[in-house]
Chains A and B, each alone.
Chain A
């Protein structure tokens, strides 16, 4: 722990990682809370996994075809937005099973990614960093993007809070009240897609759902209103992020996995707290 604080003053990459954690916590807490109350963590999972297709394709184009602008990040953003639009288009069709659609997007995206990565030199490192992320490798561009997303999310949460809450609680009633629910839903999915992509850079494809869902679920147990849940969720994300980083760094363990482990422990701890207070009441 001391070594962590010590090195923080010494190494810019560590300060960048810390800043990334703070910025990501804001996005994660806001989006994670809405994803959780809307019960759409599986949607976030599908989008996260299909970004592998975008990253794999982009990396292939970059390394093998020499197309410089095809960075894995731009590929991931494209794949995530595409998946978001596809889900928003398909989820309102009658006779469409959403879980089947999500599984298809989930698996097809990964398959495309694996095929392209297999044809790209440097196969293993790429795949590992996409799947599990590397917060210590975060770039200035990543930070700027996450900060921008945070601003948009904070503004949206402040100005459209009542509408977002009402749609999350009862979509049909919101539609009858005259809200353009479809439009809100599509924008929501695109925002989830962007958030997922940026979080994937930090903790990787496999762990991103946990980072969205676990702090929000723990926060839901501790609070009774959505605005408080969001704030608590941001705080818990922050705690898990910094805690995970500080524990993993001196032990040279993967930071993303440690962050999720801390989040998981917090989630279980709130379950115990809830259980005890329920028994005392």
Chain B
């Protein structure tokens, strides 16, 4: 038997009421991969993410993370939510927020190590000089990096990232993916995005989500697929193109 994959979904079905969101999803993500999860709005990206995090239960099928049910291991997943949902006036310093990534994990980190881990995480996202600044005073891109540091401070084995480039300018986006590529040497990374153009140089596989799930090694995915995926008809998706070095552009309508 090979080592169990970091994420395993077998015949997973999920619906909200009568409306099916995901059907017959089979997914296997191995340790060390850098996965881009793409698909149209309402296609089930967020649902897939929430199933992996154990925030939702599938109607049918099996979800395993590190070989365990997700709710048992969700503290090992570093989750980076969309930064737009936060109260921009929340009274806390950057360091306060990063340290929030360590609550509930006192079993994993000895007290003295907590501060060190938090500082390491801040250095990694290139924000150590901002540690005493107010979270409210940061730019969108900086806030997002604070949230990455918060996820890293808890010592996760995997990073899950929801819409990292939403409302972040392109130079911040590039810096972000440079940091993620660096982190990918140590841990598995999943990025949910409608904007795959940014990611493609670093990712190992793309997972296309639109009711069903299709996995492409990056080398077999073409820009046309993505454009098609976002089009009206799922059956138009083609899987026979080569991708270019520059990656895919997503003409998101």
Contact = CB atoms under 8 A, between A and B. Distances in A.
A associates with B: yes
A224 B100 contact: no
Most chain B C-beta atoms within 10 Å of own C-beta, residue among A162, A177, A226:
A177
Most chain A C-beta atoms within 10 Å of own C-beta, residue among B77, B91, B134:
B91
A220 B88 CA distance: 12
A176 B77 contact: yes
Interface in A212-253: 220, 223-226, 228-229
Contacts of B90: 37, 168-169
Contacts of B154: 177
B162 to A, nearest CB: 11
Given A178-B105, A223-B91, A229-B91, A169 B136 contact: no
Contacts of B81: 170, 172-173
B126 to A, nearest CB: 22
B150 interface: yes
Contacts of B93: 224-225
A168 B89 CA distance: 12
B104 A179 contact: yes
A170 B100 contact: yes
Contact of B86 (A169, A174, A176, A225): A169
A178 B74 contact: yes
Interface in A88-105: none
A177 B101 CA distance: 7
Contacts of A174: 100, 103-104
B92 A225 contact: yes
A182 interface: no
B53 interface: yes
B103 A225 contact: no
A192 to B, nearest CB: 18
Given A162-B103, A224-B136, A225-B96, A173 B91 contact: no
Contacts of B74: 176, 178
Given A165-B100, A166-B100, A177 B91 contact: no
B233 interface: no
Nearest to A222: B91
Interface string A156-193: 00000011011011101111111100000000000000
Contacts of A175: 55
Given A172-B81, A177-B154, A37 B91 contact: yes
Contact of A220 (B54, B55, B91, B104): B91
Contact of A166 (B87, B91, B103): B103
Contacts of A178: 74-75, 104-105
Mostly, the A contact residues are: helix
A37 B103 CA distance: 19
Contact of B91 (A162, A163, A176, A226): A226
A224 B99 CA distance: 16
B79 interface: yes
B134 to A, nearest CB: 4
B97 interface: yes
Nearest to A219: B91
B103 A179 contact: yes
A39 to B, nearest CB: 7
A33 to B, nearest CB: 9
A140 to B, nearest CB: 36
B91 A170 contact: no
A39 B87 contact: yes
Contacts of A162: 99-100, 103
A166 B154 CA distance: 13
Nearest to A180: B104
Interface string A54-85: 00000000000000000000000000000000
A177 B104 CA distance: 6
A178 B70 CA distance: 12
B60 to A, nearest CB: 19
A169 B100 CA distance: 9
Contact of B75 (A168, A169, A177): A177
Contact of B150 (A173, A223, A225): A173
Interface of A: 37, 39, 162-163, 165-166, 168-170, 172-179, 220, 223-226, 228-229
Interface of B: 53-55, 74-75, 77, 79, 81, 86-87, 89-93, 96-97, 99-101, 103-105, 134, 136, 150, 154
19 contacts: A162-B99, A162-B103, A163-B103, A163-B104, A166-B100, A169-B100, A173-B101, A174-B103, A176-B53, A176-B55, A177-B104, A177-B105, A178-B104, A220-B91, A224-B134, A225-B91, A225-B93, A226-B91, A226-B92
| The 9 A-B residue pairs with the shortest CB-CB distance in the complex, in nearest-first order | A177-B104, A178-B104, A166-B100, A224-B134, A179-B104, A178-B75, A176-B74, A229-B91, A166-B103
